[in-house]
Structure 1
Amino acid sequence: MIIYSAIPLAAVGGVLLLWIRDLPFSISAGVGFIALFGIAVLNGIVLIEHFKELKKEGRFNNINDLIKQGTKDRLRAVLLTAMAAALGFLPMAISTNAGAEVQRPLATVVIGGLITATLLTLIVLPVLYAYFNKPKVKSATSRNGIVTTSLMIFSIAAIGQAQQQPIDLETLIPMALENNASIKAQELQVDHSNELVNSAFSFDKTQLYYEFDQNNLAINNKPLRVLGIQQDFKFPTVYFTQKKVNEANVALVTSARDINKKNIERKVTIAYYQYQIARKKEVALKTLDSLYTNFSSMATRRFELGETNYLEKITAASKQKQINTKYLESRLDVVLSYNELKKLVQSSDTLILVAEKDLKIPLERIDVESSVELDYYRNRISLLDAQRQLEKKQLLPDISLHYFQGTNSELNSSLYGYQVGLKIPLLFGGQSSRIKASGIAQQIASQEYNEYDIQLKARYEALMVRRNQLNNALSYYEQEGTALSDEILNTAQGSFKNGEIDFYQFIQSLEGAYEIKLDYLEQLNQYNNVVIEINYLTL
Structure 2
Amino acid sequence: MRNRDLQSVVDDVQKLINNNIHLPVGYSITYGGQFENLQSAKARLMVAVPISLILIFVLLYFAFKSVKEALIIYSAIPLAAVGGVLLLWLRDLPFSISAGVGFIALFGIAVLNGIVLIEHFKELKNHGFESMEALIKQGTKDRLRAVLLTASAAALGFLPMAISTNAGAEVQRPLATVVIGGLVTATLLTLVVLPVLYALFNRPYNSKRIRGRVSSKKTLGLVLLLASFSVFGQQRSGAKLKDLIPMAIENNAGLEAGRLQVKQSDALIGTAFSFDKTHVYYEFDENNLAENNTPLRVFGIQQDFKFPMVYFSERDVNQARYGMVSSSYNIQKKGIARQVTAAYYAYQIARKKESVYKRLDSLYTNFAKVAARRFELGETNYLEKITAASKQKQISLKYSEAQKEVLLVYNSLIKIIQVDEPISIAVESSLKAVLNTLDINGSAEIAYYKNKVALSEAERRFENHKLLPDISLNYFQGTNPGLGASLSGYQFGLKIPIFFNGQAARIKAAGFAEEAAVSESKAFEIQLNEKHNALKIRLSQLQEALNYYENEGDKLSEEILKTAHGSFRNGEIDFYQYIQSLESAYEIKLSYLDKLNTYNQTIITINYLTL
Say whether the fold is shared (TM-score over 0.5).
yes
Question: Match of 1:377?
Answer: 449
Kindly provide the CA deviation profile for residues 266-294 of structure 1, in whole angstroms up to 9, marking residues without a partner as x: 00000000001000000001100111111
Q: What residue number does 1:365 align with?
A: 437
**Farther off after superposition, 425-434 or 211-220:** 211-220
Cα deviation for residue 104 of structure 1 reads 8.6
Equivalent residue number for residue 71 of structure 1: none
Q: Do the aligned partners of residues 315 and 262 (structure 1) sit closer, same or farther apart at CA in structure 2, a change above 3 Å counting?
A: same
**Match for residue 58 of structure 1?**
none
Which residues of 2 match residues 388-427 of structure 1 at below 5 A? 388-427=460-499
C-alpha distance after superposition, 1:179-234 (max 9, x if no partner): 00111111111111111111100000011111111111123332211111100000
The residue that corresponds to 2:342 in the other structure is: 270
Report the Cα distance in structure 2 between the residues aligned to 1:420 and 1:198, rounded to whole angstroms. 27
Q: 1:377 to 1:20 in 2, by over 3 A?
A: closer
User: Following TM superposition, by how much is the alpha carbon of 1:347 offset from its aligned partner in structure 2, in angstroms?
Assistant: 0.9
User: CA contact under 8 A between 2:225 and 2:407: conserved in structure 1?
Assistant: no
Aligned partner of 1:232 in structure 2 is 304
Which residue number corresponds to residue 151 of structure 1? none
CA drift at 1:19: 11
Aligned Cα RMSD in Å? 2.4
Change (3 A) 1:491 1:175: same
Describe the shift of the 1:450–1:103 C-alpha distance in structure 2 as closer, same or farther (beyond 3 A).
Answer: closer
Q: 1:300 to 1:322 in 2, by over 3 A?
A: same
Match of 2:297, SS? strand
1:330 matches 2:421: no
- Which secondary structure does the structure 1 equivalent of 2:300 belong to? strand
User: 1:423 and 1:349 mapped to 2: Cα distance?
Assistant: 65
Could you tell me which residue of structure 1 aligns to residue 566 of structure 2? 494
1:100 Cα offset (Å): 4.0
Q: Compare 450-459 and 500-509 and name the one that shifted more.
A: 500-509
Quote the residue 2:219 is aligned against.
97
Give the counterpart of 1:209 among 281, 296, 300: 281
Where 1:196 maps in the other structure, the secondary structure is helix
Q: Compute the TM-score of the two structures, normalised by the length of structure 1.
A: 0.72
Amino acid at match of 2:371: A
Give me the whole-angstrom Cα distance separating, in 2, the residues matched to 1:246 and 1:308.
85
- Structure 2 Cα separation of the partners of residues 408 and 363 of structure 1: 86
What is the deviation of 1:25?
Answer: 5.6
Q: Distance in 2 between matches of 1:403 and 1:20?
A: 64
Provide closer, same or farther for how the CA distance between residues 483 and 19 of structure 1 changes in structure 2, counting only shifts above 3 A: farther
Question: Does the aligned pair in 2 maintain the 1:175–1:345 contact within 8 Å?
Answer: yes
Within a 5 Å distance, the mapping from 1:403-482 to structure 2 comes to: 403-482=475-554
For residue 323 of structure 1, give the secondary structure of its aligned residue in structure 2.
helix
Moved over 3 A (4+): 18-27, 102-106
Segments of 5+ residues of structure 1 without an aligned counterpart are 1-17, 33-89, 107-163
1:339 aligns with 2:461: no
1:327 CA displacement: 1.0
1:11-160 counterparts in 2 under 5 A?
24=207, 26=209, 93-101=215-223
Which amino acid in 2 is paired with 1:95?
K
Q: Secondary structure at the match of 1:403?
A: strand
Residue in structure 1 matched with residue 420 of structure 2 by the alignment: 348
Does the CA contact (< 8 Å) of 1:95 and 1:104 recur in 2?
no
With a CA cutoff of 8 Å and minimum separation of 6, indicate the structure with the bigger relative contact order: 1
The amino acid of 1:378's aligned partner reads: K
Q: Distance in 2 between matches of 1:183 and 1:309?
A: 65
- Partners of 2:518 and 2:396 in 1: how far apart? 57
Q: Is the 8 A contact 2:224 2:407 kept in 1?
A: no
For residues 416-455 of structure 1, the C-alpha deviation after alignment (integer angstroms, 9 at most, x for no partner) is 1111111111111111111111111111112211211111
Provide the C-alpha distance between the structure 1 equivalents of 2:133 and 2:425, rounded to a whole number of angstroms.
23
Match for residue 458 of structure 2? 386
Change in 2 beyond 3 A, CA 1:20/1:320: farther
| Aligned residue-pair number | 404
Residue 99 of structure 1: how far off its partner (Å): 2.6
Structure 2 equivalent of residue 4 of structure 1: none
Moved more, 527-536 or 364-373: 364-373
Equivalent in 304, 318, 333 of residue 390 of structure 2: 318
- 1:180 maps onto 2:302 in alignment: no
Post-superposition shift, 1:488? 1.8
Residue of structure 2 aligned with 1:503, choices 540, 552, 575: 575
The CA distance in 2 between the partners of 1:486 and 1:347, in whole Å, is: 41
Quick one: structure 1 residues 104 and 359, their matched pair in 2 at CA, closer, same or farther if it must change by over 3 Å? closer
State the 1:242 CA deviation: 0.4
Question: What does the per-residue CA deviation read over 1:317-357, in whole Å, with 9 as the maximum and x for residues that have no partner?
Answer: 22112211211111111000000000000111211111101
Offset, 1:497: 2.1
- CA separation in 1, counterparts of 2:226 and 2:478? 85
Pair 463,313 (structure 1): closer, same or farther in 2 beyond 3 Å: same
Q: Deviations over 1:365-387 (max 9, x none)?
A: 11112121111111111111111
Deviation at 1:165, TM superposition (A): 6.1
Q: Which residue of 2 aligns with 1:261?
A: 333
TM norm structure 2: 0.63
Rounded Cα–Cα distance in structure 2 between residues aligned with 1:341 and 1:270: 9
- Please say if residues 271 and 337 of structure 1, whose CA atoms lie closer than 8 Å, have aligned partners that are also in contact: yes
Does the Cα contact within 8 Å between 2:224 and 2:411 map onto a contact in 1?
Answer: no
